């Protein structure tokens, strides 16, 4: 559980280089690379939860070639070719949306230092991190009780891993991970967003992050965007 009392400003995700992530046959991982990704997730979730909740998404695998001239100071691990392998996380509560797990590995199947799997809770050590008793309706009730402004449009409420994945460009990630904050929270939760004001060129409002396992308010933050 994460309880953060200070305000976190909204910001747009950092721009990343345009790189070719096509999956030609020569750029698909060998079976042992997928097996290595599965083992990493299994170690985090534990055997029973891994078997019950996780399914591979091989068609979504992305290959990222090394970027010429990229040194150790690069923001992403672009100095070496790597794969990002994806898995769905299906909560036992059938009313909950599925999560997404992203595992970056080099082409040999080895983890990249400093780039852990994203979307994989440590349920083996803390089984409550995979219980997900807080439904969307419950999250809306919690947000209302906590004072999320009603706003001028219906709220947007999304089930997300509350941390941005450091895996480079990733279209499939946009609907499953939290990108727009200075710091992340490695757990699943609900993002409840209200819009309190709009103009032709801007919008602003408030967003509450709610832990999907215990209903705690993780953060209350104003957000704004200017076109």
| Residue 218 within any structural domain of the chain | yes
Does residue 5 lie in a domain region? no
Report yes or no: 123 and 44 within 8 Å, Cβ to Cβ.
yes
- CA–CA separation, 221 vs 116, rounded Å? 27
CB 150 within 8 A of CB 192: no
d(C-alpha 158, C-alpha 61), whole Å:
24
Judge residue 28's burial from the number of C-beta atoms within 10 Å of its C-beta, 0-12 exposed, 13-18 middle, 19 or more buried: middle
Closest CA to 142 of 201, 214, 222, 55: 214
- Structure token digits, residue 47: 């055997």
pLDDT at 176: 96
What distance in Å separates the CA atoms of residue 183 and residue 178, rounded to the nearest whole number? 10
Residue 187 inside a domain? The answer is yes
For residue 11, being part of any structural domain is answered with no
Are 137 and 29 in contact, with CB atoms under 8 Å apart? no
**Count of domains forming the chain:** 1
Pairing of strands 202-211, 99-106: unpaired
**Does 4 fall in a domain?**
no
Asked whether residue 50 is assigned to any structural domain, the reply reads yes
The pLDDT of residue 182 is 59
Q: Residue 3 is encoded by which pair of tokens?
A: 């309880």
Question: Can you tell me the distance from the alpha carbon of 182 to that of 151, in angstroms, rounded to the nearest whole number?
Answer: 24
Q: What integer pLDDT is reported at residue 26 of this predicted model?
A: 55
Q: Which of 118, 195, 205 is nearest to 162 (CA)?
A: 118
> Distance between CA atoms of 169 and 21, rounded to whole angstroms?
9
Per-residue pLDDT of the chain (227 residues; tens, 9 = 90+): 444 433 333 333 333 433 444 444 457 899 999 999 999 999 999 999 999 999 999 999 999 988 887 776 676 667 788 999 999 999 988 889 999 999 999 999 999 888 899 999 999 999 999 999 999 999 999 999 999 999 999 999 999 999 999 888 889 999 999 987 656 899 999 999 999 999 988 999 999 999 999 999 999 999 998 87
pLDDT for residue 180 = 76
Within a domain: 2: no
Structural domain range at position 85: 25-226
Is 208 within the bounds of a domain?
yes
Contact 120, 101 (CB under 8 A): yes
Sign of CA dihedral 174, 180, 184, 187: negative
Q: Rounded distance, CA 172 to CA 48, Å? A: 27
CA distance 70 to 76: 10
């Amino acid at each position: 559980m994460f309880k953060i009392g200070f305000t976190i400003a909204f910001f747009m995700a950092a721009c990343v280089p345009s790189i070719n992530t096509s999956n030609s046959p020569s750029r698909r991982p060998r079976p042992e690379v997928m097996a290595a990704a599965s083992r990493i997730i299994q170690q985090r979730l534990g055997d029973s939860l891994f078997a019950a909740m996780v399914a591979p998404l091989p068609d979504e695998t992305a290959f990222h070639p090394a970027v010429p001239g990229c040194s150790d100071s690069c923001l992403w691990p672009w100095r070496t070719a790597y794969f990002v392998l994806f898995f769905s996380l299906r909560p036992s509560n059938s009313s909950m949306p599925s999560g997404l797990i992203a595992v970056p590995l080099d082409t040999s199947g080895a983890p990249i230092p400093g780039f852990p799997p994203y979307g994989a809770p440590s349920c083996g050590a803390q089984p409550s991190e995979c219980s997900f008793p807080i439904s969307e309706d419950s999250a809306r009730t919690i947000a209302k009780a906590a004072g999320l402004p009603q706003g001028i449009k219906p709220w947007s409420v999304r089930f997300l891993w509350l941390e941005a994945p450091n895996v480079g460009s990733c279209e499939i990630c946009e609907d499953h991970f939290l990108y727009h904050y200075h710091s992340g929270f490695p757990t699943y939760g609900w993002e409840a967003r209200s819009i309190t004001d709009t103009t032709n060129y801007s919008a602003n409002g408030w967003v509450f992050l709610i832990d999907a396992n215990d209903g705690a308010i993780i953060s209350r933050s104003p957000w704004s965007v200017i076109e």
